[in-house]
Amino acid sequence: MYELLSNSYGIYILCLVSYLIGSISGSMLLGSFKGIDIRSKGSGNAGATNALRTVGPFFALGVMSIDVLKGYIPVYIIALCTIEQIELYKVLVASCAVLGHVYPIYYKFKGGKGAGTLMGVILVLFPQSFIYILLSWLVILILTGYVGLSTILAGISFVIATYFLYQPNLGINIFITPFGLFALGVALFLIFTHRENVKRMLDGSENQFKKIMIFKK
């Protein structure tokens, strides 16, 4: 791995491999064993949320596990290296894994919305912030029942947690570093991938996960 990264073209190869790994869809892979194309059901999305709603919790858990691992493994392998610009390399590989999940080459670039793979990435790059992101996601989901809104606000909480947890000992503005820019990019990207959810929430047609809500109508 060190030799590959030392090569001027090595990072491009690793980004391509990360994208190809990210393009492996958990829902499509597991769905092939059950004769199911998850994109033809529910919202048409290939992510774990649609899998939960349309197929069931065990199927969704398998989908989530695969989606998290395909973000975790490539970035974890890169993180084992100690070379110059490794922070930038980790962010680039992480970004390619997420892009593969959302725009998978194997499935006509129609994938999930990035949340599952981002969880795996964050567990490697920002482990201290993960619990705060997860808690914010759960609280919003329990209060509103909207998975999309929960994910968007979790992305914003990621930016806030990154600032307060990593800024104090850095000595420079974290948002001019690769990690800081990645956190900002994640928040904006999640808003973009959930834009249809936002439209449906505004017009009142978005599905709610009512079983988990505390306050119900």
HSE-up of residue 17 (Cα within 13 Å, Cβ side): 13
What is the average pLDDT across 143-163?
93
> Contact, 21 vs 67, CB < 8 A?
no
pLDDT given at position 67: 92
Q: Is the pLDDT of residue 207 over 90?
A: no
Supply the pTM of this predicted model: 0.88
HSE-up of residue 153 (Cα within 13 Å, Cβ side): 16
Distance in angstroms (rounded) separating the CA atoms of residues 124 and 201: 32
* In the chain, where the domains are located: 1-125, 128-217
The 10s digit of each residue's pLDDT in 182-203 is: 999 999 999 999 999 999 999 9
